[in-house]
Amino acid sequence: MERRALRKWLVGGPPLAYLLFFFAAPLAIMVLASFRVPGDFGGLAPLMLEKKLNLTTEAYAALFSDFLYARLFLKSFAYAALATALCLAAGYPLALLIARSPRRYRDLLILLVILPFWSNFLIRVYAWMTILGPQSYVMRALNGVLGLVGLEPVSLLYTPAAVVVTLVYVHLPFMVLPLYANLEKHDPALLDAAQDLGAGAWQRFWRVTFPLSLPGVYAGAALVFIPAFGIFAIPDLVGGTGGIMIGNVIKQQFLDARDWPFGAALSLVLMASAIALAGLAAAFGRGARA
Amino acid sequence: MTRRPAWLWGAAIAAFLFLYAPLAIVVLYSFNDSRLNAQWVGFTFSWYDKLWHNEEMLLAARNSLAIALAAAAASTALGTMAGFALHRYKPRLLPALVLATIAVPEILMGVSLLIFFVLLNITLGMVSIILAHITFCIGFVALVVRARLAGMDESLTEAARDLGATPAQAFRWVTLPLIMPGIVAGALMAFTLSLDDFVITFFTAGVGSATLPLQIYTMVKIAVTPEVNAVSTLLMLLTLTLILIATRLSPSVLRTEASR
């Protein structure tokens, strides 16, 4: 038993130590940093000031007292929630079709869903800069149609709409995979039974398939919403000034404004709200399963 | 009875188009003989030629490869140990840490590492990027290796032990060869994750340590040029090749990826 304990530490010790040092410790330091005072030239002021701890809750006070940040959180929430809903609308039929395909094609189809996702994140954002650019075929066609029905031409690049479209594109596989994992396990006999009892296609879907798939819906929603909520590169590149999200402000605090305590506080509030929402989704998921 | 009505096919095909058309456009325009990314003019290789003579881009490519190699090597070693420990010893703290590194929003990991490195007086550059990349790669390697171990017949190791092998020998000659595909898949995955990372690199990079994604970001931010199409096409080709090999070696790569 002694030797087994020794082996356990020899094998598990180094990765544990690495993650404690380079993952847990930085997070803990960030929590502390959110209570510290910004330095005169950016960064952090000394932790000890005249032999006393130089700590304050000013960053949080600033965050919660300024309506600007509440609005920014709400706006980020709205963009992420809208993107999540659109991912669900686009991803559900795809997941359903794959789950109802012959077994031998399923892995291939799922691979096809994931494959684009393995190209670099920035490339996928950049692709939409091309598509939504004012001179692109898509935009010219769109504005042509708008012109025919007598509407003013629109531009989408550097607007909130571009942010939402790109968010959907980048996160769609996150929605499809948990949905598929759930839908694949459904027993087709349930649908046969519903049909025998006289349920039409519409009823079979809304009263059998969809309720059973709710755990997958909640899991997918959490997987899309959480990364979308904190993103900064997408609004940075396609959002213009009107499309900025909370992630952009965090980035600014660390790179331009250099108010680290405030940036740390913003990041932690972001994480706390993401965890709270994920917890909520998990609770709903469990409720749906019961 | 198959329940795949026409509307389902239609919606699914539309979704696949939505997934692939944007990337197809990037690839197509990388061969387009026009400075504007708007209209097909004619075929050319000139953007690739330009790329080949772009010193900044070449430096970024070299940085990216060096970082990905170092991060993949270290995280494969540490991640394999973690995966083995998770499977064999059921530790208490390690699983939570491994999952947390995967679940935590990237921006949070990037920002916290930035504060950490600056407070420790570690100059932001190649070293800080590598240390950061190892941190987020360990968990993925661990999960792939653990999945491989879970699918392994435990009685093989027991048989080796019954025949007099020490635990170390049983590991070296029985377990290790059996889980090797999982380890290689994990290594390839770590390599691509490192090569692709933008957010965490963004916060932990310093002067002269720009990686390919950072370089693409800078270029796209200033002005959209077709050179970005060319470098994107090459990068896509590289990561897709690596990931297809990894998936062949260990199907659990797909499932692990789903949790990213």
- Domain encompassing residue A140: 67-289
Q: Which of B78, B91, B112 lies nearest to residue A26, judging by beta carbons?
A: B112
Residue B192 touches chain A, beta carbons under 8 Å: yes
Q: What residues of B are in contact with residue A125 (Cβ under 8 Å)?
A: 220
Q: Is the pLDDT of residue B155 over 60?
A: yes
**Is pLDDT above 90 for B79?**
yes
Which of A50-54, B26-30, B101-105, B115-119 has the weakest average pLDDT? A50-54
pLDDT at A180 over 80: yes
CA distance B218 to A236: 11
Mention every residue, 6+ apart, whose C-beta is less than 8 A from residue A209: A96, A183, A186, A191
pLDDT band at A287 (very low <50, low <70, confident <90, very high): low
Query: Pick the residue with more confidence: A258 or B59?
Result: B59
Say yes or no: B105 contacts chain A, CB-CB below 8 A. Answer: yes
What's the CATH code of the domain at A154?
A: 1.10.3720.10
With beta carbons under 8 A apart, name residues in chain B contacting A33.
115
Q: What ipTM did this prediction achieve?
A: 0.86
Residue pairs spanning A and B at CB distance below 8 A: 252
Q: Do A119 and B93 touch (CB under 8 A)?
A: no
Burial track B119-136 (b if 16+ CB lie within 10 A, e otherwise): eeeeebbbbbbbbbbbbb
Residue B229 to residue A126: CA distance in whole angstroms:
9
Residue in chain B nearest A92 by alpha carbon: B12
Residue A195 placed within a domain = yes
> How many domains, chain A?
1
CA B126 to chain A, closest CA, distance in angstroms equals: 16
Question: Are A84 and A224 contacting, i.e. CB atoms less than 8 angstroms apart?
Answer: yes
Report the percentage of chain A scoring pLDDT > 70.
Answer: 96
A48 three-class SS: strand
CA distance linking residue B138 with residue A35, whole number of Å: 30
Q: Which helix (H) or strand (E) holds A49?
A: strand A48-49
Is residue A50 in some structural domain? no
Residue A213 Cα, gap to closest chain B Cα (Å): 16
* Predicted confidence band of residue B167 (pLDDT cuts 50, 70, 90): confident
Does a structural domain hold residue A165?
yes
Q: Is the pLDDT of residue B185 over 50?
A: yes
| Dihedral angle computed from the Cα positions of residues A277, A281, A284 and A288, in that order, rounded to the nearest 10 degrees | 170
The residue among B1, B115, B237 with the most chain A CBs within 10 A of its CB, best to mutate, is B115
Q: Note whether residue A185 is domain-resident.
A: yes
- Domains along chain B with CATH numbers: 54-258 (1.10.3720.10)
Question: Which residues 41-70 on chain B approach chain A with CB closer than 8 angstroms?
Answer: none
Judge whether residue B259 has pLDDT over 50: no
pLDDT of residue A1: 59
In a domain, A97, yes or no: yes
Nearest-Cα distance to chain B for A149, in Å, is: 24
Portion of chain B with pLDDT greater than 70, in percent? 95
Question: Given an 8 Å threshold on Cβ–Cβ distance, is B19 in contact with A20?
Answer: no
Most confident of A33-42, A105-114, B112-121, B244-253: B112-121
Section B173-196 average pLDDT: 87
> Is the per-residue pLDDT at B29 higher than 90?
no
> What local confidence, expressed as pLDDT, does residue A290 receive?
45
* CB within 8 Å: B19 and A137: no
Q: In terms of CA atoms, which chain A residue is nearest residue B6?
A: A97
Least confident of A148-152, A168-172, A178-182, A278-282: A278-282
User: pLDDT: is B213 or A281 the higher one?
Assistant: B213
**Domain-located, residue A19:** no
pLDDT tier at B260, thresholds 50, 70, 90: very low
With respect to residue A46, please indicate whether it lies within any of the assigned structural domains: no
Reduce the DSSP state of residue B11 to 3 states and report it.
Answer: helix
- Number of helical H runs and strand E runs in chain B: 13, 0
Answer whether residue A103 is part of any domain.
Answer: yes
| pLDDT tops 80 at residue B252 | no
A227 closest CB neighbour out of B7, B14, B105 = B105
Minimal CA separation from A44 to chain B, in Å: 9
pLDDT in tens, A214-269: 888 888 888 888 889 989 899 999 988 888 899 999 998 888 767 889 999 999 99
Work out the pLDDT band at B158, boundaries 50, 70, 90.
confident
Mutation target among B78, B112, B215, B248 for the A interface, most CBs of A within 10 A: B112
- Residue in B with minimal Cα distance to A27: B112
pLDDT of B1? 47
Residue A272 CB: number of other CB atoms within 10 A?
10
Rg of the Cα atoms in chain B: 22
Whether B131 has a pLDDT exceeding 60, the answer reads yes
